[in-house]
Amino acid sequence: MNAVIAQSGGVWIGIAIAAAILLFILAKAIRIVPEYQRLMVFRLGRSIGTKGPGICFLIPIVDRGVRVDLREQFLEIPRQTAITEDNAPISIDFIIFTKVVDAVMSVVAVQNFEGAAQNIAATSLRSVVGDMALDEVLSKREAINEALRAKLDEVTERWGVKVTNVEIREITPPPMVQEAMTRQMSAERTRRAVVTEAEGQKQAAITVAEGNKQAAILNAEGDRQAAILRAEGFSLALSKIFDVAQGIDANTMSLQYLEALKQIGSSPSTKFVVPLELASLLSGLSGMSRSFGPGSAGGDGKAAAGGGQGSSG
């Protein structure tokens, strides 16, 4: 009885071991590859190509699979010091963006892509910067990026990797150059401020001049209109005076001259301006005074009497 139990227990142990071996074989034989990866298969050390995406079957112990990521990746290049054409040391760090285009070559052609890319990037940077002056390095980032991308792509192309882009993150010039750049920037800002202020003063002066011009034009127009109105008023006044003067007799004019003489007499001035017509007017007034005097009636009577006598004689 014990022998039967022992025998059955051994059977169960054997089944368990066989199941474990089967599960291990299935785990090695079946691989699930996502869409963004490919499985590089080596059979007995020899490349037989890639498989995937989806479920892939491998022969356990015979086949070995290496996963290759096809997504675009970036590689940070640490700060590198290069010498420009005018012998100025400058530090640059940048980023490389790469994408695997041939999964087989990316595994077979290069052992450590990241290390190889970093070394190639450092040497390429020194080569590019060595052909440029410091001012060009500081102002032509896009040209440096494109030159580095072209040089790196020539090397990585045989590894089945495409360099899609190169971006410089920071350029650090020498301290003396930084001080000079700071002074230059300050001077440029001062120049712009002076130019802006001058432009403002110019525009203000032009605006003031335009305002003065318009004001002068308006003043001249106002003076012209005022002169026209004064002339028209004076003309109407003269016409009115002429019309009134037509109805004035000699006695009224004599009285006006007497009034003028009265005003002249009351003036403190020692010189008088007497019109020539005044003599005739005064003679006329004297004649009027004689005619209106007390002896005027007797004289007339005598004349009349004499006339009468003459007539009687």
pLDDT exceeds cutoff 70 at 265: no
Strand pairing report for 89-100 and 73-83:
antiparallel
Bridge partners for 68 per DSSP: 38
pLDDT exceeds cutoff 70 at 22: yes
Confidence (pLDDT) at 28: 79
Which among 86, 103, 113 is positioned nearest to 50, based on CA atoms? 103
Confidence (pLDDT) at 59: 87
Contacts of 21 (CB under 8 A, 6+ apart): none
Between 131 and 261, whose confidence is greater? 131
What is the DSSP code string of 189-241? HHHHHHHHHHHHHHHHHHHHHHHHHHHHHHHHHHHHHHHHHHHHHHHHHHHHH
User: Average pLDDT in the 187-202 region?
Assistant: 90
Question: Which of 124-128, 162-166, 235-239 has the least mean pLDDT?
Answer: 235-239
Query: Around Cβ 163, how many Cβ atoms within 10 Å?
Result: 23
Confidence (pLDDT) at 30: 87
Backbone angles phi, psi at 294, to 5 degrees: -70, -30
CA dist 93 and 85 (Å) reads 19
pLDDT exceeds cutoff 50 at 297: no
Q: What are the angstrom distances between the C-alpha of 261 and each of 226, 258, 288?
A: 36, 5, 18
Confidence (pLDDT) at 1: 55
Confidence (pLDDT) at 237: 83
Is the pTM value of this prediction over 0.75?
Answer: no
Confidence (pLDDT) at 29: 86
Q: What are the angstrom distances between the C-alpha of 71 and each of 12, 120, 144, 165, 230?
A: 48, 21, 25, 14, 96
User: Average pLDDT in the 88-102 region?
Assistant: 91
Confidence (pLDDT) at 272: 57
Which range is most confident: 189-193, 250-254, 269-273, 308-312?
189-193
CA dihedral (284, 287, 292, 298) in degrees, to 10, reads -160
pLDDT exceeds cutoff 60 at 41: yes
Per the CB < 8 A criterion, the answer to whether 22 and 29 are in contact is no
253: confidence class by pLDDT, cuts 50, 70, 90: low
Average pLDDT, the chain: 80
Q: What is the pLDDT of residues 195-205, one digit of tens each?
A: 999 999 999 99
Confidence (pLDDT) at 135: 85
Which range is most confident: 127-136, 239-248, 291-300?
127-136
User: Average pLDDT in the 256-275 region?
Assistant: 66
- Residue 160 structure tokens: 């089945």
User: Average pLDDT in the 213-240 region?
Assistant: 88
148: confidence class by pLDDT, cuts 50, 70, 90: very high
User: Average pLDDT in the 10-15 region?
Assistant: 79
Per the CB < 8 A criterion, the answer to whether 174 and 89 are in contact is yes
pLDDT exceeds cutoff 80 at 70: yes
CA dist 116 and 157 (Å) reads 13
